[in-house]
Structures are given as C-alpha cells and as structure tokens.
Amino acid sequence: MHAANADAFWTLSPGHGEIRSQPLPPRDEDALLIRSHFSAVSRGTESLVFQGKVPESEYTRMRAPFQEGDFPGPVKYGYANVGVVEAGPAAWRGRDVFCLYPHQTRYVVPIEAVVPLPDDLPAARAILGANMETAINALWDAAPRIGDRITVIGAGVVGGLVAWLCRQIAGVRVQLLDIDADKAELAAALGVAFRHPHDAEGAQDVIIHASGSPAGLRSALPLAGYEAEIIELSWFGQDDVTLPLGEAFHSQRLTLRASQVGGVSPARRARRSHSQRLQLALSLLRDARLDALIDGESDFADLPTTLARLSTAHRPGLCHRIRYP
C-alpha cells in the first residue's frame, strides 16, 4: 500500500528553511502511517541546526533518528512529534503515539519507532516527551539523594522538568536559577524556589546546568559544595566555553560531567532501553502543571518564519508547539 505525499520542513542553509512536498514510501504490514497532531521546536539543538552551527566533527553523532539530508543542509531535522495512526494493524489504528520524527504532516515508520500515549495524557502536552527523556537521563546521571541541596541553572523546558522531578524526592531543597526574572512565574507553577544566580544559596550537593550559556556554567562553580558534582546538559555547538578552573574547582574537588540523551545513562543502561525510557517520560507528563512549559503555538505552514524568529531570540523561551491541519 502506498500513501500520498506529505509536506515537511527542511533547513536549506543557515537561517533559511522551507516547506517541501515529498512522496511517502510504501507501507509494509509492520509499519504505521501517522498523521501529525503536533510537533515541538527544540530551542537549543534545533536552533543550532537551523543556524548551521553543528560542528563538522558531530555531523554523524548529531543525526536525528529519522533525519533526511546532511548537515549543514539541506536537512530535515527534528525529534518531537505526536500524531494519530491512520493505517496499520487493527490494534494500532486510531491510537495517538509519540515518535522521534521531524516536522512533517504525515509519515510512515516501523511500529517499534513509536510509543503509544497514556490514555490520560493529552496529545498537546505529550510533545514534551523528548525533553522529559533528557531530564530523566540527567537525574539518572546525577543520582540525587534524599535531603540533597540541588541547584538547576536555566529555567527553560529541560531545566524546569529537571527541577520539577527533583522536588519530588524526599527532603530535597531545589532552587531554579535564571537571569530572566519573568521565569519566576514558571517556577511557581512547578512548585520550586526561584532565584537570580546572584542570590542563590551555595554549598550545593548537585548542580545541573541547562541554561545553554557559558556564563550559566561558570556560575555553577562557586555554588558547588565540597566534592559536589556539576552535570552539564547544555550543548554549545561550535561555540567555545571558557571556565575559571584556577579558582575553587581543584580545592573543592569538584566534578564536571556531561549528560546527553542519545545514550541511556550508564546507571540504567543494563536494565532500560530507549523505548522504556520514553514510556517512562510520557507517563510522567500526566501532571497538568507541566502545561506551563509550553509558551507558544503556531501553524505548521508558518514554520520557516517561526523557526527563524525563535532561533534568533535574545532570550530563548519555553517549548513552542507546532499544530497541524
């Protein structure tokens, strides 16, 4: 069976994209035809892709699961899509699913590439699935303990999710830091304390950095307690990052460690697959308070101008949702 054409967003060159029509492949018996409800723009990684800032050394490692084309472009890139199964085995038809697929109106994928949404998870919120996966992996890497003092730097989508997960650990004190005072409203919605970095409490047990700014990472060092661990979630692309490692880094015996969602954390790799991690992520999104992490929505047809605007914003916002006809 062969499906009709679909429309997809492509980055053609740094800062420029367009909607292109392309034929869909024939659907095998063990594949699904999915019509998109929503997708989401990654303000960090996807902005770097749109701006052509993926380092050449990372061209292979940065490929998305269903990417077409190559960096720096033309390339079809993205990894947060929620849609409904239009064709496939009877047990799947009509079900809402999450898939790590780029921005496209309809697509064909193997059954194993999708995860069904929990019955009580709205499709409009499920687009946060990839961000929640990142937050889960960060906590598996950081391994926070009961009663820890935890700082999350960067009140974006991932930082907000990390802070929200941490606050549910018994006895933990969480502070969410950002230079944008308007993010205090988000922190209040998530039930966590908000502070400007200059007013933050020090002597922290765990610091998780997710601001995407070198200045944010530098601010983590003086806040860390003796032998504390700093988990780095931001990806800087081609930008250089300088750190004052001649100050307290050595005397405090600090650890700076990367966390990256492409590989399941070593702490759980032997017992959790990528699919199981995504199932967990979707199950954790059922709390309506997490709607506060979505601050904008626009039509798929407007995506070329929307992504150009989002990728050059002075202060990145939260999750921007793309709706499909």
pLDDT, one tens digit per residue, over 249-287 is 999 999 999 998 989 999 999 999 999 999 999 999 999
Looking at the domain 144-258, which fold is it? Rossmann fold (3.40.50)
From CA 320, how far away is CA 157, in angstroms rounded?
A: 10
Can you list the residues of the chain whose pLDDT is less than 70? 1-3, 315-316
Largest CA distance in the chain: 65
Instruction: Classify residue 274 as exposed, middle or buried by CB count within 10 Å of its CB (0-12, 13-18, 19+).
Output: middle
Model pLDDT, residue 3: 53
Rounded to 10 degrees, the C-alpha dihedral 88/94/97/100 comes to 50
Model pLDDT, residue 121: 98
Return the domain boundaries, the chain: 5-128+290-323, 144-258
Instruction: Classify residue 257 as exposed, middle or buried by CB count within 10 Å of its CB (0-12, 13-18, 19+).
Output: exposed
CATH code reported for the domain at 5-128+290-323: 3.90.180.10
Cα radius of gyration (the chain): 20
From CA 106, how far away is CA 25, in angstroms rounded?
A: 11
Model pLDDT, residue 1: 47
CB 41 within 8 A of CB 306: yes
From CA 300, how far away is CA 7, in angstroms rounded?
A: 9
CB 102 within 8 A of CB 6: no
From CA 12, how far away is CA 285, in angstroms rounded?
A: 33
Q: Annotate 285-297 with b (16+ C-beta within 10 A) or e (fewer).
A: beeeebebbbeee
Report residue 180: phi and psi, to 5°: -90, 110
From CA 76, how far away is CA 100, in angstroms rounded?
A: 12
Model pLDDT, residue 313: 73
314 in helix, strand or coil? coil
